[in-house]
Amino acid sequence: MTILTMPTTPFDGQKPGTSGLRKKVKVFQQPNYSENFIQSVFDVVEGKEGALLVIGGDGRFHNRTVIQQAVRMAAANGFGKVLVGQGGILSTPAASNVIRQYGAIGGLVLSASHNPGGPDEDFGIKYNVSNGGPAPEKITEAIYDRTTTIDRWLTVEAADIDLDAIGTVEVGGMSVEVIDSVADYAALMEALFDFDAIRGMADGGFTLAFDAMSAVTGPYAHEIFEGRLGFAPGTVRNGTPLEDFGHHHPDPNLVHAKELYDLMMSAAAPDFGAASDGDGDRNLIIGKGIFITPSDSLAMLAANAHLAKGYAGGLKGIARSMPTSAAADRVAEALGISCFETPTGWKFFGNLLDAGMATICGEESAGTGSDHVREKDGIWAVLLWLNILAIRQVPAKALAQDHWARFGRNYYARHDYEALSTDKANALIAELTAALPALPATAHGPLVVAAADSFSYADPVDGSVSANQGLRVMFEGGSRIVFRLSGTGTEGATLRVYLERYEPAGGTLDAETPDMLADLIAAADAIAGIVRHTGRTAPDVVT
Ligand code: VG1
Ligand code: CO
């Protein structure tokens, strides 16, 4: 088979962000663009000769095109075999599982996660390594460096493969197997959770609404919730993956999953509601009449995980991203295990999970997961909740109230200011960074600053240091504001302001979050000059 060497030039490969390369579809459609990035990845992968590579995506527009390109390029680059999900579909956690289960050297995960899809929307490519997790920073930086010098990409001349037909074909001397996207993942879930107990609860009349948001989890949810667990047909809503997610943002938050939220707050609410995002790694949890913040969900799952068979031996540790609330820290303390605080992005959990230092991880951005794969996992989180409720036989609301009565409550919200001019956002961060040293002991309304810093993380396993991971302002009494810029957007800059207030057990545990955070919201503007820098008087999205 002839390997074709296609001349090219360096391109805008984007400095490594929170989660791979994300751009508009139109950018990926430019001649050489996707190919340049994929070749930059392959040039960095050591030991690819004869190795197994996994390729799959969330089914968004342009997914199939890039898969065909990547398959031909993998053949030209000497890989031995490629595994592809049927129809090009693999949720991010399912891709992570396939990489681990089949001993692949790594995988290309094609997704822009919760960002909208379609010809004028977003696409993304992420490389995951052999542990199934996102490539660590030293690899994403090497990939980026390669994009600045790349001068050729390699491919073979071969027709497109049939992505819908399960089975093995040959492309340029390399074998390509199209596998069932769901089977291995569903089997893993059955190994971790007590499906009989959950099925019994469903048989007993417990009802579930799962919104797949017309994104990748539809086939997984149909098979697991309706097929294996016996929830009624119709339990899974928006369960067919669409290339444009039905024109919605497949972002499971209270803004984009409002229909589910309204249902769960209504008299007609089922017992439990949940949703997942574009690529299936996020989760939204809403009990009947109660939204559970992702930070609380992490803490509540950690406190009860031992009730599921996969975690019956207890947890080795908990890890959370820095902006995630400290609710999980109190659980770790009670369990006598470590709680690690990492920078934003799942890649920072990989070493802790591999080293057996943490079992459960979570992020405030609706990400929860465990050492079963090396990505966050939306359906996994829903199943762990269901398993816990099936054993404890209480509604989600009672479980939450019981948790707060024991550990206290971390009132929490994230305010996002989207599509800001990059200059203005950078100016805000620069000015605040310079002001940090003078903040301690200053008062902002009733709040007094206890400490302020720019978060830097030293990985306890390999010692690598990641600096500038967000600005923290800590107040006396345990309240906190964090400021950071998003690393996943494709338009201008997004400022995220994370607000947290701790109320100890015995304090005010059933108040409305906006009321409890009002002083912090005012302090955030006083400290960072949000209105002055951005001209915005209110956030675009509150989650
Ligand atoms: C956001 C979230 C972060 C998450 C990342 C990827 O990043 O805040 O917690 O890990 O998205 O999520 P940022 O840099 O925009 O704040 V997703 O579901 O890509 O895979
Ligand atoms: Co996602």
Start-to-end CA span in the chain (Å): 53
Nearest ligand, measured from the Cα of 19: 1
Nearest-atom index, ligand 1, CA of 494 = 15
- E runs forming strands in 203-268: 208-211, 236-237
pLDDT above 90 for 1: no
Say whether both 435 and 385 belong to one domain: no
Say whether both 114 and 248 belong to one domain: no
Say whether both 232 and 313 belong to one domain: yes
Nearest ligand, measured from the Cα of 91: 2
Q: Is the separation of the CB atoms in 110 and 58 below 8 Å?
A: yes
Nearest ligand, measured from the Cα of 277: 2
Q: Domain containing 455 — which CATH number?
A: 3.30.310.50
**Distance in Å, CA 20 to ligand 2 centroid:** 11
What is the structure's pLDDT at 18? 65
Q: How far apart, in whole angstroms, are the C-alpha atoms of residue 32 and residue 447?
A: 53
Q: How far apart, in whole angstroms, are the C-alpha atoms of residue 279 and residue 162?
A: 22
Q: How far apart, in whole angstroms, are the C-alpha atoms of residue 527 and residue 524?
A: 5
Q: Is 477 left (phi over 0), alpha (psi -120 to 50) or beta?
A: left
Say whether both 332 and 445 belong to one domain: no
Domain boundary among 365, 382, 407: 407
**Distance in Å, CA 207 to ligand 1 centroid:** 30
Say whether both 144 and 77 belong to one domain: yes
Q: Name the residue of 14, 15, 19 to mutate for ligand 1: max ligand atoms within 8 A of Cβ.
A: 19
DSSP state of 317: E
What is the structure's pLDDT at 263? 98
Domain boundary among 149, 166, 181: 181
Say whether both 168 and 65 belong to one domain: yes
Q: How far apart, in whole angstroms, are the C-alpha atoms of residue 33 and residue 8?
A: 9
Instruction: List pLDDT tens digits, range 15-46.
Output: 776 668 999 999 999 999 999 999 999 999 99
In the block, which residue shows the tokens 């994104």? 215
Q: Domain containing 366 — which CATH number?
A: 3.40.120.10
For residue 70, the enclosing domain spans 3-181
The residues, any chain, with a CB within 8 Å of residue 180's CB and separated by 6 or more, are 86, 166
- pTM (2 d.p.): 0.96
| Among the listed residues 349, 333, 293, the one whose alpha carbon sits nearest the alpha carbon of residue 500 | 293
Q: Name the residue of 365, 469, 495 to mutate for ligand 1: max ligand atoms within 8 A of Cβ.
A: 365
Instruction: List pLDDT tens digits, range 483-512.
Output: 999 988 778 999 999 999 999 999 999 999
Catalytic residue among 40, 96, 111, 113: 113
Domain boundary among 373, 407, 441: 407
**Distance in Å, CA 239 to ligand 2 centroid:** 17
pLDDT above 70 for 391: yes
| Catalytic residue list contains 96 | no
Instruction: List pLDDT tens digits, range 59-70.
Output: 999 999 999 999
**Distance in Å, CA 300 to ligand 1 centroid:** 21
Say whether both 223 and 341 belong to one domain: yes
Say whether both 170 and 254 belong to one domain: no
In this prediction, residues 399-421 reach a mean pLDDT of 97
SS3 277: coil
Say whether both 32 and 170 belong to one domain: yes
Instruction: List pLDDT tens digits, range 166-196.
Output: 999 999 999 999 999 999 999 999 999 999 9
Q: How far apart, in whole angstroms, are the C-alpha atoms of residue 363 and residue 346?
A: 8
Structural domains in the chain (count): 3
Say whether both 428 and 318 belong to one domain: no
Q: How far apart, in whole angstroms, are the C-alpha atoms of residue 299 and residue 537?
A: 32
Task: Report the run of H or E that residue 353 belongs to, with start and end.
Answer: helix 350-354
Neighbours of ion ligand 2 (CB under 5 A): 113, 277, 279, 281-282
Say whether both 222 and 335 belong to one domain: yes
Give residue 220's identity as a one-letter amino acid code: Y
Say whether both 197 and 300 belong to one domain: yes
The residues pairing with 501 across neighbouring beta strands, listed in sequence order, are: 411
